[in-house]
Amino acid sequence: MLQETIWIIDQAKLKPVLIQAMAEGKAAIHDGVAYWAEGSGGSGIIQHLPFKESAAKSVEEALKMAQATTVIAAAVSTGIILAAIVVQTKYLAKKLDKIQAAVDVIAQDVRSQHIVFYMGKISEYVGLVEAARTLLQDRSLASEIRELAIPLLTSMAAKRNEILSFIDNILAMAKSSKDVSPTHLTSITNFAQLMLDMMPAGIHIEYLLCARIGKLRLAEHILLDGAGRFNDGLQVFRRFMNGLHQEMIRGGAGARSEVYRSLEANARQLFQSEHGKILLSLPAGRAAS
């Protein structure tokens, strides 16, 4: 069962050797475990990071608490805390619920049967992300999940790229087709925004699962490649919204003006999301070589 409790790094229990390694850029942290980085002169695990229950009531509050600690502890904490929140709390489940609601609205449009087909693909991706999160919830099962994790990771990457392609195509259709009503345009655009809002968490879960089974370099590659492809998708959405805005300024948007106004705030929030940037960043202290 997903928990509401937010756990943060217990900086008082960080080993001095880890703090020193972090200060010298000799530690790499993956999936809550600090390793000696390549080129550091050390090898293996330095420390499994200690956590403690937090009084934070929200993700934002937990991250502010992490950033208020020492520079070293903050570098360790921010990404790790957000990753733990994504896996262990209802943070991601709430985003998935919103996507499902958007899917339901689009599916009600009888003129959009081809879209319904793709909705099935998207539901598959959501299911894969949830399956990966299940595997990550109990660290003691790390040695037992390897055989399940490898094909799951392959499927997650394939579906993620398929969905990014779908978002590209559906936004192109919404931009050019006169058959797309303002209501339908709102549903499609809202759906694309919600998917892009959730995807950094999905990519980070891919990264965590790969690191959990000991494939650290591949995990980093997944994170970097996923971040690049996500940012390309985000640019597609940004250009779409800019196009709507310019159309509105020229006075040719008609009923689409109201659509733009209803979506502008959420889109701007997505473009400026610090959560997404943190989740798609390489672990603190990665590079010693």
Enter the pTM of the model: 0.84
And the tokens for 68?
């208020």
SS3 11: helix
Burial 115-134 (b: 16+ CB within 10 A, else e): beebbeebebbbebbebbbe
- pLDDT tens digit string along 64-82? 777 666 656 666 667 777 7
pLDDT over 90 percentage in the chain: 33
- Contact call for residues 99 and 50 (beta carbons, < 8 A): no
Per-residue confidence at 289, pLDDT binned at 50, 70, 90? very low
- The answer to whether 46 and 52 have CB atoms below 8 angstroms apart is no
The answer to whether 28 and 288 are in contact (CB under 8 A) is yes
Model pLDDT for residues 93-122, shown as the tens digit of each residue = 788 788 877 777 776 665 556 666 767 778
For residues 49-54, give the mean pLDDT.
82
